Structure 1
Amino acid sequence: MSTALAAVPSFAEELEEDELVAEEEMIFEEEEEEEEEEIIIVPTFSDVGVDYFAFGAIEYLAGLGLLEGSNGKFNPKAPIKRSEIAKIIALDKGYKAPPSYVIKARDITTKHWAYDYMAALEREKVLVGSDGLIRPNDNITRAELAVLLNRAYNYAQPPRFYSFTDVRHSHWAYHSINKLATNGITAQGGSAFNPNAQVTRAEFALFLARTLDDRFKH
């Protein structure tokens, strides 16, 4: 009876196998290092860090070309002006007034930087002045913004009305404020809405981001 002898690998074969194993281990270690690398997020604006409450909303709108800052800063806590809002909404909605359109309001001229945007929103009946004034350089209150956003984005009718401690049913912006609450644009009642408080640039960014993308809602 003959006994079969197992093939013994040569020194060259053993060396080649060791090199392959070492190469595979090196590749595996490199892959592990790549997986462990942190994803570094570079904020668009130097004064809006990743931990800021409206960071995502501001980055989102900046990416859409709707928000811009000055000298690399956004100034999130500064009040936002009616003219600034007019520009942002006009750009988002694609509103444009024909060259022949003349603003009815008497407190703005064609020399104003936001004249075309204000004209577009007035023509669409989104921005309506009182007493013949459109107040382009004024800051905007939370109640005024609620009305303006409702005119521009036509939120769904609320199935119920939320109760804010400082917004009575007789308030002139009551229905607009409730639409914002029902549609997840702002807090859903039970607390104060602060209708007369001025809206900051960060707050406006959050309201608009929630309007355009449900991911930013509560």
Structure 2
Amino acid sequence: MKKTFLAGALSIACFTGGFGLQANAQENVDVASFIHPKQAVAATKQAQSMTYQDLYKTLVISKLAYEDKDMTLVTTKNNITLKISLQALLKVTEMSAQEQKEFKELFGDSIQMKFTPSGNAFKAEVYAQGKWQALDNADLNAFVGAIQEDNIDLKSGGYFTDTIGHWAEGYIQLLFQLDIINGTSATTFNPNGQVTRGQLVSMIFRGTGLDVNKDYEGPATYKDLANFPGAKEVAILEEYGLIEIFDGVNFEPYKPATREEMAFVTARYLESKDFDVSKVSKNNPFTDKNQMRQETVESIGLLKQLGVIDGANGQFNPKGNLTRAQFSKILTLTLMLVGADE
């Protein structure tokens, strides 16, 4: 069910622990009784102080750890609806046949929750016994405790109105929380905007864990970086051999990066993190392979075999550009690979 996540940093474990399932006929279902009590206690302060925006961030990041068939999340500007299947829960906890029967009597084949903003806070509801019912504090604490990632202190900001409901919102939010990407403003991200060469380098640089002040040893060989804010990042990655694909006299930081340039830099990043690429096939299956720069063919093949990139109709479109949303997914999947390998 769960995909490999960032080891040591983001091992999100939703609904782990035992479920003390207690079906009852009370008017409001006691959701807390279905969730491990230790999680409920741990989350008490978090749930009471969590804003709607922080709840949104928590949910979209948590969703990345689950397959679509196990968890669905629908976000709009008006509410958030979450559905977790019984089959998903059975993969992380033990339920007797009787407990499963009682669960189905209350929730059906999945547990559904809805969150609606109310000022800076929110109203939480669960769909049980055929109707939407309010979640009290104990229920909410139990739920938040089950999904909250202890290793992440959510940053302020990052509630991008133009990524709500976007297919890449989880990837974008995760990278924002890790200080790898920024918005185009306090409330927008421009997910469909093109990634420039400068942005590509900046995001890869932040993913490496390198430090501009400690790792900078001198300017890059490119002649057009005097007024570029990320000049030191470019210089450091050039020193490490990650951006050899940009082999001109000028770097052209504001020029949109191509898909093959992105693949080359991303593959070099994997190698720089001591990811063992020798065990992975570099077979490039794309039918437009003859349109790729020769030095990018294996990089694109490697990332394809690792499931980091894909194409359309058998083609990769190497000379095309990529969007900020697309690269957010690619970089997130790459970081997951590095975390799992470490």
Normalised-by-shorter TM-score class: 0.7 to 0.9
Q: Residue 134 of structure 1 aligns to which amino acid in structure 2?
A: F
Cα distance per residue 1:63-82 (max 9 Å; x no partner): 21211111310001110111
* Structure 1 counterpart of 2:203: 88
The ranges of structure 1 where at least 4 consecutive aligned residues each deviate by more than 6 angstroms after the TM superposition are: 33-36
Deviation at 1:185, TM superposition (A): 0.3
Alignment partners' CA distance in 2, 1:141 and 1:100:
28
Q: Residue 191 of structure 2 aligns to which amino acid in structure 1?
A: P
Identity of aligned residues (%): 23
Alignment partners' CA distance in 1, 2:201 and 2:292:
28
Cα distance per residue 1:25-72 (max 9 Å; x no partner): 99x54444888752469982100123x221221111112121111131
Give runs of aligned pairs for residues 122-201 of structure 1, distance below 5 A: 122-128=238-244, 129-154=246-271, 156-157=277-278, 158-159=280-281, 161-168=283-290, 171-172=293-294, 173-187=296-310, 191-201=314-324
- CA distance 1:186–1:107, change in 2 (3 Å): same
* TM-score, normalisation: structure 1: 0.74
Contact 1:166 1:193 in 2 (8 A): yes
* TM-score, normalisation: structure 2: 0.49
- CA distance 1:112–1:64, change in 2 (3 Å): same
Deviation at 1:117, TM superposition (A): 1.3
SS at match of 1:204: helix
Higher strand share: 2
Alignment partners' CA distance in 2, 1:95 and 1:184:
26
Q: How many residues align?
A: 187
Q: Residue 269 of structure 2 aligns to which amino acid in structure 1?
A: A
Alignment partners' CA distance in 2, 1:48 and 1:137:
23
Q: Residue 78 of structure 1 aligns to which amino acid in structure 2?
A: G
Alignment partners' CA distance in 2, 1:82 and 1:171:
17
Cα distance per residue 1:113-158 (max 9 Å; x no partner): 1112111211111123323222211110111111011111126243
Larger Rg: 1
1:48 to 163, 174, 193: 163
Q: Residue 289 of structure 2 aligns to which amino acid in structure 1?
A: V
| 2:320 is aligned with 1:203 | no
Note the residue ranges of structure 2 that are not aligned, 5 or more in a row: 1-23, 33-110, 123-157, 338-342
2:336 to 200, 213, 218: 213
Higher alpha-carbon deviation: 155-164 or 62-71 = 155-164
Note the residue ranges of structure 1 that are not aligned, 5 or more in a row: 1-24
SS at match of 1:38: strand
SS at match of 1:213: helix
